[in-house]
Amino acid sequence: MTDGDLTDTEQAPIQITNVAPSVSLNLIPSGDEGSLLTFEARIQDPGSDDLTVAWSGDCTGWSAPTFYPNDPSGTPDPFPSPDVNPRDVTDTQSVTCGDDGSFMWSVHAMDDDGGATTMEGTFSVNNLPPSLAVAPPSVSVSEATQVTLQATASDPGSDDLTFTWSWDFGPTEVHAFYNDGVGPDPPNSPGGAYPFVASDSSARTYGDDCVCSVSLMVKDDDGGMVAYSTTITVLNVAPAPSIDSATQDAGKNFPAGRFLPFLPINFTGSAGDPGSDDLTFTWDFGDGATSAGTTYYNNGLSADPFPSVDGGFPFTAKDLASHSYRAAGDYVVKLTVKDDDGGTATASFPIHITSPDDLKHEAIKRIKALKEQALARDDNHFLDELDESEEEVWESLGFEHPFHPDAVAALPANDVTAKARDHDKVRLTLGPSWDPKLPSYRTLRLTWSNG
Ligand SMILES: [Ca+2]
Ligand SMILES: [Ca+2]
Ligand SMILES: [Ca+2]
Ligand SMILES: [Ca+2]
């Protein structure tokens, strides 16, 4: 203080008031659920104070308070520490929200003298739709074969996921997967596990050939969705026919497995189709005669519409046919079965129609077998009778003197000469080389063919 000449000095205490730090937000983020969102705040303090910055809010990732010392060599700041060293720090925080919505944030800045400033507000997070992968990408199967599609959806957030499968000709299946495994996710629920991955599958068996589509929609619980569709190509499969039996009522003494002309033969055929197709049976008897064709309807009543994926499958049917042959001989019977989608297959069955001559030759074979037995037991009487029987059969076949050779051409054995005499006898002359052997022979047996 001065009045011109005199100077007086007096000390007076001055109170330096603490000033609280100021806070300004450089960045309040907005972004997507499941992704990192970064806040940035600038904190300034005019004094030389230590600063502590503390964040809090919804979602996860807020770190513990950060301490910014005024003088790294002398912490904490001694009081008073009047050297001026104004503070200006930038503090960031990165957090993640598992759901979309509006969420709270706050930042609290404190100096070491009790000065504090708090700022708070809200930030918004967007929903993201799930992504989806489905396998196999395209499907081609035979009718009546199950198709299974596998799907995996992933939501960046912690949303529930609902799979809706829509198959051509039905059904529509809805499968929900809860993020917490228990029940529906409430809105604005930033906790939970994220990203949320759910796998689902759906299966369908089409009983008829078709080009059928299947679609899958996966929705999260906040309106996000992803759609997928593919085509299932279902191929027709031809039926498999068989001729199961052929029978003829030719009397109880007629040998089994032989068929006579002019008597009806009853055939049974069957066929199976893996699909739900109608089946038409047509017979070709191999002698120029065919059947008109009989159709067995899958629904028992009327022609199968196309496609008819939900008829009964597999489908089997039986058919009967009757035919008389007019001549003996070998024939091949064919049964052709067609489904209503162009699938066709044929079964074959060889059949021999016996002639009277066939039966006579068969009788001769049997008589010869009996003759072998009679020879073996030296039953010459029976042998003679069988000779007579065989001769009669040969005669009935048109041979005038079946056992009376015109000539004998072959040599029956070494050092044996044979000569036909008087049409009904054969003279055998044994050469000298037989002399020493003869005492050891009891019988000599000569077999010939009258070819
Ligand atoms: Ca969400
Ligand atoms: Ca979502
Ligand atoms: Ca079919
Ligand atoms: Ca078929």
How would you list the strands of the sheet with 22-27, edge to edge? 22-27, 36-45, 87-96
Distance 113 CA to ligand 2 centre (A): 46
Distance 311 CA to ligand 3 centre (A): 10
The rounded Å distance from CA 314 to ligand 4 centre is 9
CATH class of 240-354: mainly beta
Q: Which ligand places an atom closest to the C-alpha of 316? A: 4
CATH topology of 22-126 equal to that of 131-235?
yes
Q: Which two tokens stand for residue 65?
A: 């308070």
Distance from Cα 148 to the centre of ligand 3, integer Å: 20
Q: Which ligand is nearest to the CA of 341?
A: 3
- Give the model's pLDDT for residue 1: 46
CA of 148 to the centre of ligand 2 (A): 27
Cα of 38 from ligand 3 centre, angstroms:
61
- CB distance 315 to 276 below 8 Å: yes
User: Phi/psi at 384 (nearest 5 deg)?
Assistant: -60, -40
Residue 265 · residue 257 · CB < 8 Å: no
Distance 161 CA to ligand 1 centre (A): 10
Assigned token pair, 418: 């044979």
Whether residue 46 has a cis bond before it, omega within 30° of 0 = no
Write down the H helix ranges in 262-417: 356-376, 380-396
Q: Are 386 and 370 in contact (CB under 8 A)?
A: yes
CA of 281 to the centre of ligand 3 (A): 16
pLDDT tens, per residue, the chain with 451 residues: 445 666 667 777 777 788 889 999 998 888 999 999 999 999 998 887 889 999 999 999 999 999 998 876 666 766 666 666 788 999 999 999 999 999 999 999 998 888 899 999 999 999 999 999 999 988 999 999 999 999 999 999 999 999 999 999 999 999 999 999 999 988 888 888 999 999 999 999 999 999 999 999 999 999 999 999 999 999 999 999 999 999 998 887 777 778 999 999 999 999 999 999 999 999 999 999 999 999 999 998 888 777 777 788 999 999 999 999 999 999 999 999 999 999 999 999 999 999 888 888 888 999 999 999 998 898 989 988 998 999 899 998 888 878 776 666 666 678 888 776 665 567 788 888 888 888 887 777 766 665 4
Q: Where are the domains of the chain?
A: 22-126, 131-235, 240-354, 404-451
Q: How far is the CA of 282 from the centre of ligand 3 (A)?
A: 19
Question: Would you state the pLDDT for residue 340?
Answer: 94
CATH superfamily of 22-126: Immunoglobulins (2.60.40.10)
Q: Separation of 58 CA from ligand 2 center, angstroms?
A: 18
Q: Which ligand is nearest to the CA of 224?
A: 2
> What span, in angstroms and rounded, lies between the C-alpha atoms of 164 and 176?
9
Q: Which ligand is nearest to the CA of 190?
A: 1
- Span from the CA of 33 to the centroid of ligand 1 (angstroms): 7
Q: Which residues keep their CB under 5 angstroms from ion ligand 2? A: 127, 155, 157, 159, 220, 224
Residue 279 Cα to ligand 3 middle (Å): 10
**Ligand nearest the Cα atom of residue 306:** 3
**pLDDT for position 82:** 64
- How many A from CA of 222 to the centre of ligand 2? 6
- Can you name the CATH fold of 131-235? Immunoglobulin-like (2.60.40)
Q: Return the structure tokens found at 224.
A: 């996000």
Residue 405 has phi, psi (to 5 degrees) of -70, 145
Distance 61 CA to ligand 2 centre (A): 19
For residue 332, the CA-to-ligand 3 centroid distance in Å is: 29
C-alpha 107 – ligand 1 centre gap (Å): 26
Residue from 407, 410, 411 nearest 421 by CA = 407
CA of 295 to the centre of ligand 4 (A): 14
